[in-house]
């Protein structure tokens, strides 16, 4: 049999034509196998450190783990991988060994040649932030290019979120943004969102609005979630006026922001809080025009704002509109409505509304009755006020501090000191105290009527409960007791010393 002469050149793997065959140690599978074995050795060493006691752990710290990493990879004739260093760094961060992280980073920077993945630095920056090491996180961020790594907006956003957590770190944000440009990091819409969310979280909505303006100027679309976040944060800040908020609302709508039900509710709440009831009504009208039906909460807030602004002409109209829409008023809505009627001196109508509340399935509360008591006392109708208090007792509505103060002020204003004293005694038993001016007026009128003994006894009781009467009460007691021998200087000294 004659061999084909072409076989000589066709089979390159015969010993006849090669001195040595290919080494199996140079194949990719062996390289991968070596990395896996080296990682197994490193993980085993890590478990030994974790299972050792504290004294042993002090001896098995950074030098042991790093040397184990280097030796294990060297034993299999392969170079340490970024994955191995990442595992080592995660081990150190999980055990909070801050002092051991820096040497590992120095070794990677100075001795290794691979391009370090950014996720390693993201993990470390987040860890430094949780450990309240903001400056360390900042230093590491600026150091990233020295590790043969091109930083991206991911690490930038993380650093910015850490800086925005504290007011004292906000001043570093402009510096970071300027340096990020030299690091060739392109600011994206996500960066603006991070800044806005962080600023809203620390209640600096004014800065968040400025950042949003920059975002729009740079050509990024308006984010409905960001707009909603800013609107919801309005009530928690003090640096934005209602006029500025309305301008912001108008501008955002022009740019395409489509508010939701919660956005309208939050905006109405802010305007009512700022005393802009009619402006809140305008926002609610926009809500209806946009096809969103306001709920009872919205109507209640707008009614409250209108009453506070004194725009009583809209009170009846809005309350009737709410009923026509099929909304059932709750006790808070009725309280606002009753308060509006009382401020118009229409107490009789307010009494009718309260009487009909229970028939409609809404039980009046102490706020409802206090509103009626205040209006009746101002009108001088103390008989009806007493009837309201009796009704409260029958219906199980307890008196609060405001209830007692309203009635006592009303009784004192009409000169009914006896009734005021009875309520004051009941009030003191519940460890509630009147206004200082009210108590001084009671003592003064008692002394004027010759009830100095009773006034002194009442003063002793209230001073024993750590209440300090005003100067007018002491003056009245002193002036009315100078001519009486039984009220000596020691009596008043004892009063002053009673605690």
- Encode the chain (499 residues) as per-residue pLDDT tens digits: 455 554 445 555 544 445 545 555 456 766 788 788 888 888 888 777 666 544 444 444 445 788 888 888 888 888 899 999 999 899 888 887 788 888 899 999 999 999 999 999 999 999 999 888 999 999 999 999 999 999 999 999 999 988 888 878 888 888 999 999 899 998 888 898 888 888 888 888 888 888 888 888 888 877 888 899 999 888 777 778 889 889 989 988 988 889 999 999 999 999 999 999 999 999 999 999 999 999 999 999 999 999 999 989 899 999 999 999 999 999 999 999 999 999 999 999 999 999 998 888 899 999 999 999 999 999 989 999 999 999 999 999 999 999 999 999 999 888 888 899 999 989 988 888 898 998 999 988 888 888 888 889 888 889 988 888 889 888 888 887 665 544 445 555 555 554 4
Q: Are 291 and 316 in the same domain? A: yes
What is the rounded CA–CA span in Å between residue 274 and residue 280?
Answer: 10
Where does residue 54 rank: exposed (0-12), middle (13-18), buried (19+ CB within 10 A)?
A: exposed
Would you say residue 26 lies in a domain?
A: no
Instruction: Single out the residue of 163, 158, 258, 268 nearest to residue 207, CA to CA.
Output: 163
Query: DSSP states of 107-157 as a string?
Result: HHHHH--S---HHHHHHHHHHHHHTT-HHHHHHHHHHGGGGT----HHHHH
Residue 279 lies in a domain: yes
Q: Is residue 347 part of a domain?
A: no
- With H, G, I as helix, E, B as strand and everything else as coil, classify residue 266: helix
Structural contact between residues 65 and 88, judged by C-beta atoms closer than 8 angstroms? yes
What is the rounded distance in angstroms from the CA atom of residue 232 to the CA atom of residue 235? 7
What secondary structure letter does DSSP report for 416?
Answer: -
Q: Read off the tokens for 257.
A: 């922001």
The total of other beta-carbon atoms located within 10 Å of residue 57's CB is 16
pLDDT of residue 98: 80
**Based on the structure, what is the number of domains in the chain?**
2
User: How far are the Cα atoms of 272, 420, 457 from residue 460, in angstroms, in the given order?
Assistant: 45, 17, 5
Question: Residue 372, class by beta-carbon neighbours within 10 Å (0-12 exposed, 13-18 middle, 19+ buried)?
Answer: buried
Q: Which of 114, 113, 115, 109 is nearest to 150 (CA)?
A: 115
> What pLDDT score was predicted for residue 499?
46
User: Which residue is associated with the tokens 């600011």?
Assistant: 187
Q: What value does the CA radius of gyration of the chain take, rounded to a whole number of Å?
A: 39
pTM: 0.72
Closest CA to 98 of 70, 60, 122, 124: 124
What is the model's pLDDT at position 363? 92
pLDDT of residue 373: 94
Question: Is 307 inside a domain boundary?
Answer: yes
Answer whether residue 393 is part of any domain: no
Quickly count: other Cβ atoms within 10 Å of residue 2's Cβ: 4
What's the rounded Cα separation, in Å, for the pair 167 and 203? 10
Do 309 and 278 share a domain, yes or no?
yes
- Look at residues 169, 263, 181 and name the one whose alpha carbon lies nearest to residue 195: 169
Distance CA 79, CA 387 (A): 92
List the one residue out of 393, 387, 424, 397 whose CA is nearest residue 409: 424
Angle at 137 between CA 58 and CA 186, to 5 degrees: 145
Give 119's Cβ-side CA count (13 Å radius): 6
Q: Torsions phi, psi of 191, nearest 5? A: -65, -45
Distance CA 288, CA 170 (A): 40
282 and 301 both lie in a single domain: yes
Contact at 8 Å (CB) between 342 and 374? yes
Q: Which residues contact 172 (CB under 8 A, 6 or more apart)?
A: 138, 163
pLDDT at 484: 54
The 8-class DSSP code of residue 169 comes to G
For residue 41, tell me if it sits in a domain. Answer: no
What is the reported pLDDT for 58? 47
Same domain, 254 and 208: yes
Q: How far apart are CA 323 and CA 118, in angstroms?
A: 60
Last residue of a domain, one of 323, 338, 370: 323
Residue 234 placed within a domain = yes
Residue 306 lies in a domain: yes
Write out the residue range of the structural domain in which residue 246 sits: 202-258
Q: Do residues 279 and 317 both lie within one domain? A: yes
């Amino acid at each position: 049999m004659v061999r084909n002469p072409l076989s000589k050149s066709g089979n390159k793997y015969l010993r006849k034509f090669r001195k040595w065959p290919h080494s199996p140690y140079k194949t990719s599978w062996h390289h991968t196998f070596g990395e896996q074995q080296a990682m197994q050795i490193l993980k085993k060493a890590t478990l030994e450190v974790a299972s050792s006691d504290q004294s042993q752990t002090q001896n098995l710290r950074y030098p042991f783990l790093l040397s184990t990493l280097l030796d294990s990879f060297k034993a299999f004739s392969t170079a340490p991988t970024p994955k191995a260093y990442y595992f080592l760094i995660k081990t150190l961060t999980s055990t909070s060994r801050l002092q051991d992280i820096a040497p590992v980073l120095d070794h990677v920077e100075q001795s290794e040649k691979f391009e370090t993945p950014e996720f390693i630095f993201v993990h470390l920056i987040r860890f430094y932030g949780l450990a309240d090491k903001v400056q360390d996180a900042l230093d590491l961020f600026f150091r990233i290019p020295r590790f043969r790594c091109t930083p991206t907006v991911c690490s930038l956003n993380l650093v910015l979120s850490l800086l925005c957590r504290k007011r004292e770190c906000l001043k570093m944000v402009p510096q970071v943004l300027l340096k990020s440009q030299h690091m060739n990091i392109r600011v994206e819409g996500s960066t603006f969102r991070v800044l806005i969310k962080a600023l809203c979280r620390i209640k600096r909505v004014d800065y968040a609005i400025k950042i949003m303006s920059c975002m729009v100027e740079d050509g990024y679309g308006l984010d409905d979630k960001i707009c909603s976040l800013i609107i919801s944060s309005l009530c928690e800040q003090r640096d934005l006026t209602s006029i500025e908020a309305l301008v912001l609302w108008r501008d955002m709508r022009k740019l395409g922001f489509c508010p939701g039900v919660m956005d309208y509710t939050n905006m109405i709440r802010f305007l009512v809080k700022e005393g802009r009831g009619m402006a809140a009504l305008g926002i609610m009208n926009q809500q209806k025009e946009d096809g969103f039906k306001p709920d009872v909460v919205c109507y209640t807030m707008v009614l409250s704002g209108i009453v506070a602004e004194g725009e009583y002409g809209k009170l009846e109209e809005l309350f009737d509109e709410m009923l026509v829409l099929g909304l059932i008023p709750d006790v808070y809505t009725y309280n606002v409505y009753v308060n509006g009627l009382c401020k118009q001196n229409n107490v009789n109508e307010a009494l009718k509304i309260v009487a009909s509340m229970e028939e409609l399935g809404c039980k009046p509360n102490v706020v409802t009755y206090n509103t009626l008591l205040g209006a009746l006392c101002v009108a001088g109708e103390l008989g009806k006020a007493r009837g309201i208090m009796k009704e409260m007792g029958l219906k199980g509505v307890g008196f609060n501090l405001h209830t007692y103060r309203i009635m006592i002020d009303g009784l004192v204003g009409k000169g009914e000191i006896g009734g005021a004293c009875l309520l004051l005694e009941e009030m003191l038993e519940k460890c509630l105290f009147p206004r200082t001016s009210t108590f001084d007026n009671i003592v003064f009128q008692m002394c004027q009527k010759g009830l100095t003994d009773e006034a002194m006894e009442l003063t002793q009781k209230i001073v024993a409960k750590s209440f300090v009467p005003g100067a007018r009460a002491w003056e009245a007691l002193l002036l009315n007791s100078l001519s009486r021998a039984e009220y000596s200087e020691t009596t008043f000294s004892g009063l002053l010393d009673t605690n």
